[in-house]
């Protein structure tokens, strides 16, 4: 997967030069998507004042996701294999009424707890794509490249300023806090779309976001491994 993403990123970086040597169709395919994002379970460290940085297993719920992709083809968009530049972005979030689940291990005992929190992932990217036309009824596509990713994690408790969690090693204080980070990561996308007529298509797609965020005031370093399952709608503009 990483080799494929790097290859497409290189194609995207080279495409402005190649664009002067091939015919640019002059129209963009705009894809709007809606779906959910599943973040892989993580292991982090609670950033507390007790100095222990207690380990915690992180299990975020699925995040609603919306966004768009813009494909600018080079060469004929009606050829069997279309290629070009892919730019876009999206936002995934979970509101304040959701829960953050974790467990803290200490001296042979495990304590489970759930606290209010909100998570937001925003990303923008540019890379390359290839799209194969399966006759006049369906397309399959692949894309990938670098992405700028912003993440925010807010720990909230509406009733108390601090949330105590007691373990065999003492009491861990989970303070009401928030943390954010912005990184250079990568994305990959794939999907299939079916013709609706008049230059419009609908389909199913998947996207992947990767990188490492540092929520230094809440759970520390966080390996972002997010898979998005999407419903898509595309049209020419």
Q: What are 169-219's pLDDT values in tens digits?
A: 455 555 567 889 999 999 999 999 999 888 899 999 999 999 999 888 777
Evaluate if residue 164 carries a pLDDT over 50.
yes
Q: What is the pLDDT of residue 16?
A: 42
211-235: pLDDT as tens digits: 999 888 777 787 889 999 999 999 9
Q: What is the pLDDT of residue 8?
A: 42
30 band by pLDDT with thresholds 50, 70 and 90: very high
**What integer best gives the mean pLDDT of the chain?**
77
pLDDT > 90 in the chain, percent: 44
Asked if 125 contacts 88 with a C-beta cutoff of 8 angstroms, the reply is yes
Could you tell me the pTM of the whole model? 0.76
Q: What is the pLDDT of residue 222?
A: 78
- Give a three-class secondary structure readout of the chain: CHHHHHHHHHHHHHHHHHCCCCCECCCCEEEEEEEEEEECCEEEECCCCCCCCCEEEEECCCEEEEEEEEEEEECCCCCCEEEEEEEEEEEEEEEEEEEEEEEEEECCEEEEEEEEEEEEEEEEEEEEEEEEEECCCEEEEEEEEEEEEEEEEEECCCCCCEEEEEECCEEEEEECEEEEEEEEEEEEEEEEEEEEECCEEEEEEEEEEEEEEEECCCCEEEEEEEEEEEEEEEEEC
71-100: pLDDT as tens digits: 999 877 777 899 999 999 999 998 665 555
146-155: pLDDT as tens digits: 999 999 988 7
């Amino acid at each position: 997967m990483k080799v494929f993403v790097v290859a497409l990123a290189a194609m995207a970086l080279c495409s402005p030069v190649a664009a002067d040597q091939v015919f640019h169709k002059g129209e963009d395919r705009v894809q709007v998507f809606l779906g959910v994002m599943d973040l892989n379970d993580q292991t982090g460290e609670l950033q507390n004042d007790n100095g222990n940085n207690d380990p915690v297993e992180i299990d975020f719920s699925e995040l609603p996701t919306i966004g768009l992709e813009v494909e600018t083809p080079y060469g004929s968009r009606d050829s069997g294999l279309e290629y070009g530049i892919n730019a876009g972005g999206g936002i995934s979030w979970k509101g304040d009424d959701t829960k953050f689940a974790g467990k803290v291990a200490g001296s042979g005992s495990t304590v489970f707890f759930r606290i209010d929190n909100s998570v937001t992932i925003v990303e923008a990217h540019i890379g390359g794509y290839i799209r194969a036309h399966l006759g006049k009824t369906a397309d399959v596509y692949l894309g990938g490249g670098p992405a700028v990713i912003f993440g925010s994690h807010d720990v909230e408790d509406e009733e108390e300023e601090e949330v105590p969690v007691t373990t065999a090693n003492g009491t861990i204080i989970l303070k009401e806090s928030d943390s954010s980070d912005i990184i250079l990561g990568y994305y990959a996308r794939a999907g299939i779309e079916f013709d609706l007529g008049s230059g419009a298509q609908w389909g199913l797609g998947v996207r992947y976001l990767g990188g490492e965020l540092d929520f230094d005031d809440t759970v520390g370093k966080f390996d972002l491994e997010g898979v998005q399952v999407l419903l898509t709608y595309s049209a020419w503009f």
